[in-house]
Amino acid sequence: MAAAILGMLVILVLVVAGAWVFAGHNAGDAIDTHQKAQQAYSQIGQDLDRVFGSGRDLLKSDPNKAVGYLTDAYHQLQVARDNGIAEADLTSYSGQIVAGLNRYYDVTYLSPQTVASFGSDDLENVVLGPDGAAYVLDKTANTVYRVDLSTGAKTTAAFKGEQDQLRTGTVGTPRLLATGGQDVLIIDDNNAIWRWRNESSTLVQLSVPDAKTWGTGVRALGTFTSDAERGQYNLYVVVPSAQEIWKYTESPDSSTYPASARTDWLSVPQDVSNVDDMFIDGSIYLVEKGTVSRYDNQTPTRGWSAKPPGDTVLRPGNPTYTRIAADNAAQDTGDLYAYDGVNRRIVVISKSDGSFRGQYMVQSGSQRLTALKSMFILSPPTGATRIYWVESGDLMSAPITAASSASPAPSGSGASGSAKASGSAKASGSAKASGSAKASGSTKPSATP
C-alpha cells in the first residue's frame, strides 16, 4: 500500500509539473504572438504616415518610395492577421493601402451601365458596325442583333435558318463576327460567311469556295482594307487544321475570294489552336494562351512584348488575357485593351512598344468583368471614349479616359476579328481619345499586312 501511495504521488507531481511547464510555454507563445501583432500594427501606421501623414502625398512627390512603404504595409497586414488582430480593426488600414497601391499601378474604376439586356441569354460576341451600332451574337437564340447604342433598341440582322437576299443559301449557327468596309461579317458553323449591310438591310453570302477546307475549329476571322474607295478588304482566317492564318484577297470584280488568291500569312506554320482573339491594323495582334503577341511581315515582331502591370502584390502572377480591342485602327497609333478575366480587369497596352499604360477594374462588390466574352472601344473625335462589352445576357458600357496621347485619326476602333472561346512600365498619364465611330477597316491604315 505504501508503494502504491508513493507511485500515485509521483504521478501527481509529474502531472502538476507538466501542466505548469505547458502553461508557461503557452503564456510565452501568447506574449510573443501579441508582440508580433502589435509590432505589425504599429509598422502599418508608420508606413502610411510616411506616405500620407501631415498632409503629404508621397505617391505624387516620390511614387517609387511611396510604393515601397505601401508594399511593406500590405505585408504587415498579413502578419497582423496571422497573429490575431481582428479584420474589423484592420479595415481602415487595409482600405488605405489597397487604394494607394491601385493608384500607383494606374487602376481606374469603371462605372458600368447596361445598354441592352437579353435576359438569361448567353451573349457570345460583339463588334462595332460601320453604321455606329453594336452587333451582338446571341448564342442562345442563334441570332445576330443590331443594337442602337443611344437607345438600346434591338433589331434582327441575321438568324439561324434565314435565307439570304439572293436565296443562294441558308444561315447556319452563327459563330464569329467581324467587320470589313461597310459590312458586318458573320461566319456560321458551316464556315459560310454572311455579309450584312444595314443601309440596305441586305444579307448576302460571300463567295469563299475554299471555306470547306477550314475544318470545324476556325478560331478567328478578321479583315484589312485593301481598297477603301471600292470598299474592298482582305479576309484573314485563323485555321488550326492548317497551322496557319490564311489570307484571302478579293477578286477585282468583288464577286469572290478565290482559292487561287489564298496565301499563308505566317512565314512558318505554327499551332494556332489556342488563339482566342485577333486584331488587325497593319500589324496582327493575337491573343493566345493568355498572352498578347504582335506580328509584322508574317513573323513575331522582334523586341515587342506586352508588359505586365507589375502589381503582383495585390494580383499575384502575370495577367491571363482572352480578349482584345483597340481605340484606334491606324497602325502603331493608340492602345490595345486586353481583358484579364483571372483578375477581372482590362489592361491598356501601347501598340507601338507594348508598354503598360493603365488598367480598368470595377469597384469591390460589383460582379461585372467576371465573364466578359467580347468588347470594343468607341473613340469619337469629340466626346467621351467608351468601352462596350458583352457579359452574360447584357451589353454593357462604361466611359473611359483613353491612355493614348496620339492624335485622333479618322478610323474606327473595335477589333477587326473575334474568336469563339467557351516587368512593368509606369503609365505616363491619360490623354485625349483618338479615332472615330467608324468600324475598323473603313479607312486604309498605313501598312498592308
Question: What pLDDT is attached to residue 242?
Answer: 96
CA end-to-end span of the chain, whole Å?
103
| The 113-117 sheet, strands edge to edge | 113-117, 394-400, 385-391, 372-378
| 69 shares its domain with 196 | no
Torsion of Cα atoms, 433 then 233 then 280 then 339, to 10°: 70
| 51 shares its domain with 161 | no
8 Å CB contact between 223 and 416: yes
Question: What pLDDT is attached to residue 105?
Answer: 95
The pTM (predicted TM-score) of the whole model is 0.83
Question: What pLDDT is attached to residue 384?
Answer: 76
Tens-place pLDDT, residues 43-83: 999 999 999 999 999 999 999 999 999 999 999 999 999 99
8 Å CB contact between 90 and 81: yes
What the block records as the C-alpha cell of 61 is 512627390
| 334 shares its domain with 315 | yes
Would residue 362 count as lying in a domain? yes
Given a cut of 50, whether residue 434 has pLDDT beyond it is no
Question: What pLDDT is attached to residue 235?
Answer: 97
Comparing CA positions, the residue from 440, 388, 444 lying closest to residue 416 is 440
Question: What pLDDT is attached to residue 429?
Answer: 36
8 Å CB contact between 108 and 401: yes
What's the pLDDT band for 437 if we cut at 50, 70, 90?
very low
Question: DSSP string of 361-384?
Answer: E--TT--TTSSEEEEEEE--SSS-
Helices 87-104 and 63-82 cross at an angle (nearest 10°) of 160
| 261 shares its domain with 365 | yes
| 244 shares its domain with 219 | yes
Question: What pLDDT is attached to residue 432?
Answer: 31
Tens-place pLDDT, residues 5-47: 555 654 554 544 455 444 455 545 566 888 888 999 999 999 9
8 Å CB contact between 218 and 211: no
Last residue of a domain, which of 104, 134, 168? 104
Dist CA 273 CA 337 (whole Å): 22
| 91 shares its domain with 196 | no
Would residue 448 count as lying in a domain? no
| The 134-138 sheet, strands edge to edge | 123-128, 134-138, 143-147, 154-159
Report angle CA 165, 115, 118 to the nearest 5 degrees: 65
Question: What pLDDT is attached to residue 253?
Answer: 85
Domain that holds residue 79: 30-104
Q: Report the range of poorest mean pLDDT among 185-189, 320-324, 398-402.
A: 398-402
DSSP state of 170: B
8 Å CB contact between 148 and 133: yes
Would residue 443 count as lying in a domain? no
Question: DSSP string of 203-256?
Answer: EEE---GGGGGS-S---EEEEEEEETTTTEEEEEEEEGGGTEEEEEPPPTTSS-
What is the domain count for the chain? 2
Would residue 436 count as lying in a domain? no
| 73 shares its domain with 182 | no
Report angle CA 133, 416, 441 to the nearest 5 degrees: 80
Tens-place pLDDT, residues 115-136: 999 999 999 999 999 999 999 9
User: Which residue reads 439570304 in cell numbers?
Assistant: 164
Tens-place pLDDT, residues 147-202: 999 999 999 999 999 998 777 789 999 999 999 999 999 999 999 999 999 989 99
Q: What is the mean pLDDT of residues 208-223?
A: 95
Would residue 442 count as lying in a domain? no
| 244 shares its domain with 123 | yes
DSSP lists the bridge partners of residue 339 as 323, 346
Would residue 276 count as lying in a domain? yes
Would residue 449 count as lying in a domain? no
Dist CA 67 CA 208 (whole Å): 55
Report angle CA 361, 366, 368 to the nearest 5 degrees: 65
Comparing CA positions, the residue from 206, 145, 154 lying closest to residue 174 is 145
**Higher pLDDT, residue 435 or 97:** 97
Q: What is the mean pLDDT of the chain?
A: 86
Would residue 145 count as lying in a domain? yes
Dist CA 153 CA 268 (whole Å): 46
| 56 shares its domain with 124 | no
Question: What pLDDT is attached to residue 421?
Answer: 36
Dist CA 418 CA 412 (whole Å): 16
Given a cut of 70, whether residue 230 has pLDDT beyond it is yes
| 237 shares its domain with 129 | yes
Amino acid at 267: S
Question: What pLDDT is attached to residue 447?
Answer: 57
Comparing CA positions, the residue from 86, 90, 88, 95 lying closest to residue 76 is 90
Q: Report the range of poorest mean pLDDT among 230-244, 292-306, 407-421.
A: 407-421
Residue 172, domain CATH: 2.120.10.30
| 221 shares its domain with 344 | yes
Q: Please list, in sequence order, all residues whose beta carbon lies within 8 angstroms of the beta carbon of residue 447, skipping any fewer than 6 positions away.
A: 282, 283, 331
| 121 shares its domain with 165 | yes
